[in-house]
Amino acid sequence: MDARKLLSKVTPSRAGAGEMVAGAPPVVAAQPDDRRAGARPPKDEHNAVRFLIRGHVQNVGFRDFVVRRANRLGVRGWVRNRSDGTVEVLAAADGEVDALLEACRLGPNAARVEHVDVHPTQETLPRRGFRKTRQYEVVEDAAAQRYHRLGIDPAGEAFGPLHHAGLLDTHSPSSVDAARAFWREHMAVDIDPALHIAYENLTGAADPRVLPPTQYRTIQRLFNADKQVKRAYVDKGLYPYLVRTDRQPLNYLRRINGKYFDADNDVVGEHEVLPMLSSRCQRAIIKPSRSANGIRVNLLEFDTDGRAVIHGKPRTLADIERLYGGDFLVQQVIEQHSLMARVHPSSVNTLRMLTIRLGKDIHHLLTFARFGADGRVNDNAGTGGVCVGVEADGSFLPEGFDEHASVLARHPTTDVAFADLEPVPRYSEYVEFVRALHADLLNYDLVSWDIAVGKDGGPFFVEHNFAGAMWIYQLATRRPVFGELTDEVLAHVQHLRDVKAAA
């Protein structure tokens, strides 16, 4: 079926081009902010199709699934999460859009699609390619007007959860003015004050040094290497060569460009892969080499017959290749300390630690623990995990925080009270551990580290990251990201800008 036939099967809305699906709530920010768009077509033409996908479709890799499928089919457009729990796709109404629709009706393995609303529309589309874009919010008109007056962007990175959690319901005009004045002085920008308002409502204290997400992205790009260099550093298969510590998981198997290699870099034939793994381990972690946010991180087990099992289902090597593609890892399961396992034993729970290089010195900025939930293997906030701030002495804050901006005194799965947790053992060793690791990353001055607490109480490297949800970092730890270093960091930002302008 071609795109014209698909469009002929859908009755357009009477309100005309650009309207959402009939019955959908009014929207703010109907277009992505980062558009790279072509010319808008005549108003009487439908040049695109909007899919609104309902069900369990967020935090399951749905957007990445759509991007991969659309780019494979050659469909132009974008996909984004909506704050009401749905996923929205806008696709050019030509070529293989019908095949993309069928793919959206199925979704990735972890998704559960209940319904897909299809609506022909007229929109400005990207000239080429298909991409993820930012979440946008569905809000009632009165709230939308209030947010607009405050300069809050309903398409902002953290707006959805902060709005729903009630952390934007009240604000102090003087605190907002102070935050705006601070960032005008230091970065010559007019900020979105949403995170400052939420921070004050959460902690009871205003702090203009809180770093807004947009300004974090600017700083992160200035401090860190370009995308070409990043390709090597984000490949988890290269960690043993880039991160000089024995305190990291052993890679039993790596698939690189479709070929298999064992821990000694010897090539393994396809028929030998599963027998080799079953002889080395009864259980292991399997994950993509180059993805982040806990996507497709699973437990790989071997039953008594030596069959590979993922999510309780026996899998052949062909099944695994279909799930993970040409590049993935099978690695050792870290034996974690009882302190961390107590909170959620199914996941390897880690400390997210942030470091920065300023001149000759590497500073530790903040730490929070990440605990998985609902029996998942990974601990990412984006898959339901809980973040709990860690103090300078290794003790935990009494309340956790999740990606929905919920404040939690107890773990949602195990009911463990965070206030009852003992401090991280030998915590000062963890700070020195990440500072030493950072010294080897010459291309990166602002780095997040995922560090496990080993069974012996010592630090264990899991992975490094060069971006992050900075709004969660600051709300989970109840502190501005740069703290007492803020003025020094922002002075260095201005220096980097001057150097870049003079180049």
302's torsion region: left (phi>0), alpha (psi -120 to 50) or beta? beta
Domain assignment of residue 224, yes or no: no
- Among the candidates 304, 331, 358, a domain finishes at 331
**Domain membership flag for residue 227:** no
Q: Which domain holds residue 404?
A: 335-495
Please count the structural domains in the chain.
4
100, 8: one domain: yes
pLDDT for 434-465, tens place per residue?
999 999 999 999 999 999 999 999 999 999 99
CA distance 484 to 449: 21
Choose one of 331, 348, 382: the last residue of a domain.
Answer: 331
Give a yes or no: residue 232 inside a domain. no
What is the C-alpha to C-alpha distance for residues 276 and 269, in angstroms, rounded to an integer? 10
Could you say which of 132, 167, 197 is where a domain stops? Answer: 132
For residues 71 and 187, membership in a common domain is answered with: no
Residue 476's domain is classified under what CATH number? Answer: 3.30.470.20
Phi, psi of 256 (to 5 degrees): -125, 120
Inter-residue contact 180 to 209 (CB < 8 Å): no
Residue 358 shares a structural domain with residue 445? yes
261: in domain: yes
Q: Quick one: tokens of 477?
A: 């730890």
Domain co-membership, 107 together with 124:
yes
Q: Is residue 415 classed exposed, middle or buried when 0-12, 13-18 and 19+ CB atoms within 10 A define those classes? A: exposed
pLDDT in 10s for each residue of the chain, 503 residues = 444 445 444 433 333 333 333 333 333 343 444 433 444 444 446 789 999 999 989 878 899 999 999 999 999 999 998 877 899 999 998 888 999 999 999 999 878 899 999 989 888 888 889 999 877 777 888 888 899 999 998 878 888 889 989 999 999 999 999 999 999 999 999 999 999 999 999 999 999 999 999 999 999 999 997 777 888 888 898 999 999 999 999 999 999 999 999 999 999 999 999 999 999 999 999 999 987 666 778 999 999 889 999 989 999 999 999 988 899 999 999 999 999 999 999 999 999 999 999 999 999 999 999 999 988 888 777 666 899 999 999 999 999 999 889 999 999 999 999 999 999 999 999 999 999 999 999 999 999 999 999 999 999 999 999 888 999 999 999 999 999 999 999 999 999 999 988 87
Same domain for 87 and 8: yes
Strand partners, 53: 87, 116
- Indicate whether 9 and 150 sit together in one domain: no
Q: Note whether 324 and 339 are same-domain residues.
A: no
* 488 and 370 inside one domain: yes
Q: What is the pLDDT of residue 22?
A: 30
Q: Which residue among the candidates 50, 63, 69, 376 is catalytic per the annotation?
A: 63
| 359 domain residue, yes or no | yes
- Which member of 47, 81, 201, 380 is catalytic? 81
pTM attached to this predicted model: 0.80
Q: Give, for 313, the enclosing helix (H) or strand (E).
A: strand 313-315
- At 93, which CATH number? 3.30.70.100
How many C-beta neighbours within 10 Å does residue 10 have?
13
pLDDT given for residue 447 in this prediction: 96
Q: Please check whether residues 295 and 368 belong to one and the same domain.
A: no
Do residues 162 and 265 share a domain? no
- In angstroms, rounded to a whole number, what is the distance separating the alpha carbons of residues 286 and 130? 28
For residues 33 and 123, state if they share a domain. Answer: yes
Active site residue 63: yes
What is the predicted pLDDT for the residue at 252?
96
Q: Are 267 and 368 within one domain? A: no
Q: What pLDDT shows up at residue 11?
A: 35
230 belongs to a structural domain: no
Give the strand order in the sheet containing 283-288. Answer: 267-268, 259-262, 251-256, 328-331, 283-288, 298-302, 308-310, 313-315
| Confidence (pLDDT) at 20 | 32
